[in-house]
Structure 1
Amino acid sequence: KQAPLVIRVDPSPNSQKQSERKERGRESPMGVTGGVTSNTDGGDSESSLLLTTNTPDNSKIPKDSFHLAYIMYFTLGTGYLLPWNAFITAVDYFTYLYPDASVDRVFAMVYMIVGLICLLIIVAYAHKSDSFVRINVGLGLFVVALLVVPVMDVTYIKGRTGIYNGFYVTVAAVALSGIADALVQGSIVGSAGELPERYMQAVVAGTAASGVLVSFLRILTKAVYSQDSHGLRQSANLYFIVSIAVMVICIVFYNVAHRLPVIKYYNDLKSQAVNEEKEEKGVLAGALWRSTLWDIVGRVKWYGFGILIIYVVTLSIFPGYITEDVHSQILKDWYSILLITGYNVFDLVGKSLTALYLLENAKVAIGASFARLLFLPLFFGCLHGPKFFRTEIPVTVLTCLLGLTNGYLTSVLMILAPKTVQLQHAETTGIVIVLFLVVGLAVGSVVSWFWVI
């Protein structure tokens, strides 16, 4: 019985060096297979490697004319984080409206819990749902959730404080955004995992661009609008209007992207791989699907743990520590805004660097992710250490390094993980990796409270 033909996606027409490296095969850290090896068992063993290789003819791969596909995936990455950024950046406005509510904590808890539950469901039933439908539904839900705040402000709240029915509706909109995020983020990352590496890099860089966009909007609104009730209201409405506009662009881009020749080419490769697997194993359902899913999780778990620890470290420091625990007599209330902007800019730089140089050694990348735990005692020193450590320069440098390492290592692991499995399972792998990421966000948010304790 011959092993099934599985087609591996090369990152670009000029990737012969990577092809040769993967054909030699390599072991990922902690026993996870990270390269490409032939299935010498003839496909009979469930423990055989998921990934075999049959590199497509590079001369037949369509070009990404004008980098349209790259731009579209970059925009999609920007889009699916904007709704959360809009809600959390407008927290001053919501705190003014609802002074007796712990707005930021409630928003974070609702968003993460709802998103995590939905992601678990999506992972379990990924084989029964279509990513095209999930993404379009999710983008539509984002628009609805974002419309709630400005529409309610104009028709019901009208700048008045203490109307807590409005708060409950806003929390429901945050929960709706959590559902949409699970549908869109997991599926976008999953679909990018089926394409060459540059498209995953585009998505990841787009998420960083979202933070940069919101940071500059925050600087603009603070500089232009007064910080009274009227100014806060105008600022909040601006965040949501910009986010809605970007979301509409994302809907258009996503529904155009699959028609581009380069995207159609790789979608056809996936369809071929899916059909060959059906002929070999039958329809993935029941015990066969669960076995395949656990095989995927086992194969990428250390990539996932690397991403998880990245975001545990990052969220334990940023933004809570940055906004609440460090102060500047010179910069005053601009200090936290500039630190957040610095983090976001360097996060974007880090996520863009993988377009120039991709660290292909997963063991080093995962080790570096755990090495970021050193940021915790360093930032602690900025609170309780020598006097120089408690000044603006060390805090700013550390914050920028936190963003740079977060961006680069996230991008590396997100790019490498889907390439360890068969093409037809790359989407599920992307969703699994996002699940690890969300767990890291949740744990990091909890750990951040230890700064207060």
Structure 2
Amino acid sequence: MIFKAAVGLANEGFGGDPERVGWLVAIIFFILGIGTLLPWNFFMTASMYFNERLSTAEGSNTSEWSNGTVTPRKDYYFNNWMTLLSQLPLLLFTFLNSFLYQRISEKVRIAGSLVFILICFLFTAILVKIPMDQDRFFYVTMATIWFINSFGAVLQGSLFGLVGLLPQKYSSVFMSGQGLAGTFAALAMIFAIASKADKEAAALGYFITPCVGTIITLLSYMLLPRLDFARYYLKKDKSSCYEVETANQLLDRGKMSSEGRADDVQVIWVMAFCVTFVFTVTLSVFPAVTVDVKTAYGKKWEPYFISVCCFLIFNVMDWIGRSVTSFVCWPPKESRVFPALVVSRVIFIPLLMMCNVQERSNFPVLFHNDAAFAALMIVFSVSSGYCVCLSMSYAPQFVEPKDGETAGALMTFFLALGLSLGAALSFPLRAVV
């Protein structure tokens, strides 16, 4: 009854003007954006919990995991493997999603992925209470990360294709929601660390939180096709199926139409390069390198240092960077300055490697102070969010409206490619620090 009442209220007075209820669709896409990256962010910010489980005696998970300084007895390279096994299925299943467009309906892909992600998170929450030896826990956790990100890839690719059918501002809102997902995860971890509750109970509550978020995301998606505003755009421009040939054309050079669009999409390959390069740089050092930075101050601050200066700062600033594109879009999409700005971000790799990363054997420590590390993280994350959002928002503008979903799905593949390349690069970069 409440669901039907909300639909009726949203559609009341639509009267042929879709913008009158566009704010509700924007809120829904913001929530959907949060839901797509909640799984990755909750696993990433829980690295202290996982490292503690991998450092305790066999069959035990009762020691302190909130002090932020636990080092596993056996070096599992958890942060590197977590990043890699999160991004490889994202790349693989984003590619497979191109074929799923033809064979599986949008509702099944999106709703089905959310249901399976919910099941995986419930399993992770239950696992908190199950004693397990280190090796078995590591492999089970890696398998869970693989499956969650496999379904997350299908979900993200489908939603990027969907939002590509709407005006550009909705792509910005969707990506802004993705940026905020990490902020929720970082705050949840800080509350878990500060909690006076038993550490098992804190971890259990931490993993139940994304279960609630996934349910809200599913309900939001179910509401979307019932709104007149959404139907106006989704049925107006949506092609009957996804053609692989169209994706090939989108990367080719072609002649510009009289309306300023490229018939064969002359410059979408530039946006594809930009989104790939941004995430390659970002994932090469975050979190695999940045999570090992140590504070220069006392033990009272130490438990919160990584959660605040690494995860919270990154996610808040990344969200701000994405959100700014709703008001300012510079450089323009045709400008050569934009790809140059993207490439310039490579400077953050050596700068962050020269922060107080421990243990280290090669690079000198140039930035000992916590404030220097925090300042670098601010610029690093703002530029990441801003450049990614511009790339993803600009790409559909180079295609005809009927190809908007195709462009969105194609760009998601290159997004996943950047994430995977960055994750693979994180292994040698962490090794040479």
**So what's the TM-score if we normalise by structure 2?**
0.79
Of residues 308, 329, 332 in structure 1, which corresponds to 2:276?
A: 308
- Asked if residue 267 in structure 1 is aligned to residue 234 in structure 2, the reply is yes
| 8 Å contact from structure 2 (residues 163, 170) kept in 1 | yes
| Partner residue, 1:251 | 218
Q: For each residue in 1:209-237, what CA deviation from the matched residue of structure 2 results, as whole angstroms up to 9, or x when unmatched?
A: 111111111111111147xxx41x22321
In the alignment, the residues of structure 2 paired with residue 186 and residue 309 of structure 1 have an alpha-carbon distance, to the nearest angstrom, of: 19
Contact 1:347–1:404 (CA under 8 A) maintained in structure 2: yes
Which of 185, 195, 209 pairs up with 1:214? 185
Question: 1:52-201 alignment to 2 at 5 Å?
Answer: 60-65=16-21, 67-99=23-55, 100=74, 101-154=76-129, 157=130, 160-162=131-133, 165=136, 167-201=138-172
Decide which moves more: 162-171 or 70-79. 162-171
Is the CA contact 1:342–1:400 (under 8 Å) kept in the aligned structure 2?
A: yes
Query: Residue 241 in 1 paired to residue 212 in 2?
Result: no
| Residue in structure 1 matched with residue 314 of structure 2 by the alignment | 343
Confirm whether residue 391 of structure 1 aligns to residue 377 of structure 2. no
Measured after TM superposition, the shift of residue 69 of structure 1 is 0.8
Could you say which residue in structure 1 is the equivalent of 2:431? 452
Q: Distance in 2 between matches of 1:448 and 1:381?
A: 15
> For the Cα contact (< 8 Å) 1:306–1:413, is it kept in 2?
yes
Q: Give the structure 2 partner of residue 55 of structure 1.
A: none
Return the match for 1:370 from 331, 334, 343: 343
2:302 aligns with 332
SS of the equivalent of 1:329 reads: coil
Q: Which of 173, 180, 194 is the equivalent residue of 1:223?
A: 194
Aligned AA (1:122)? N
Shift of 1:452: 2.7
* Cα distance between partner residues in 1 of 2:341 and 2:331: 13
Distance 1:127 1:302, change over 3 A: farther
CA contact (8 A) 2:289 2:353 kept: no
Distance 1:64 1:309 in 2: 38
Tell me by how many angstroms 1:173 deviates: 2.4
Aligned counterparts of 1:171 and 1:225: Cα–Cα separation in 2: 29
1:423 has 2:401 as partner: yes
Q: Give how far 1:164 is off.
A: 5.0
Question: What is the match of residue 414 of structure 1?
Answer: 392
Q: Which amino acid aligns with 1:315?
A: L
| Alpha-carbon contact 1:90-1:235 (below 8 Å) kept | no
Structure 2: runs of 5+ lacking an equivalent: 1-14, 56-73, 253-264, 357-362
- Cα pair 1:80 1:181 within 8 Å, conserved: yes
Using the alignment, how far apart are the partners of 2:287 and 2:101 within structure 1?
33
Output one character per residue of 1:410-432: Cα deviation in whole Å (capped at 9) or x when no partner.
Answer: 11111111121122221121121
Distance across 2 between alignment mates of 1:254 and 1:218 = 27
The CA distance in 1 between the partners of 2:177 and 2:228, in whole Å, is 22
> In 1, distance between residues paired with 2:426 and 2:80?
12
What is the TM-score with the length of structure 1 in the denominator?
0.76
Residues of 2 paired with 1:379 and 1:153: CA distance?
A: 33
Native 8 Å contact 2:192 2:206 kept in 1:
no
Cα pair distance change 1:335/1:328, threshold 3 Å: farther
Q: Which residue of 2 aligns with 1:293?
A: 247
Please tell me the residue identity of whatever aligns with 1:148.
Answer: F
**Residue 443 to residue 60, structure 1, CA distance change in 2 (3 Å):** same
Structure 2 CA distance, aligned partners of 1:168 and 1:398?
34
Identical pairs, percent = 24
Q: Secondary structure at the match of 1:63?
A: helix
How many angstroms apart in 2 are the aligned matches of 1:380 and 1:175? 28
The structure 1 residue matched to 2:175, chosen from 192, 204, 209, is 204
Cα deviation, residue 166, structure 1: 5.0
- 1:190 and 1:427 in contact (8 A); partners too: yes
Q: Do the aligned partners of residues 107 and 317 (structure 1) sit closer, same or farther apart at CA in structure 2, a change above 3 Å counting?
A: closer
Question: In structure 2, how many angstroms separate the alpha carbons of the residues matched to 1:217 and 1:60?
Answer: 42
> Aligned partner of 2:278: which letter?
I
Distance across 2 between alignment mates of 1:314 and 1:335: 20
Provide the rounded CA distance (Å) in 2 between the counterparts of 1:409 and 1:291: 28
- Which amino acid in structure 2 is aligned with residue 239 of structure 1? Y
* Pair member with larger Rg: 1
CA distance in 1, matches of 2:290, 2:82: 19
CA distance in 1, matches of 2:415, 2:220: 25
Please list every run of 5 or more consecutive structure 1 residues that lacks an aligned counterpart in the other structure.
Answer: 1-58, 276-282
**Partners of 2:108 and 2:401 in 1: how far apart?**
20
Q: Deviations over 1:269-325 (max 9, x none)?
A: 124xx37xxxxxxx87xxxx4432211233422101101111111112222222214
Closer, same or farther in 2 for the Cα pair 1:64/1:176, shift >3 Å?
A: farther
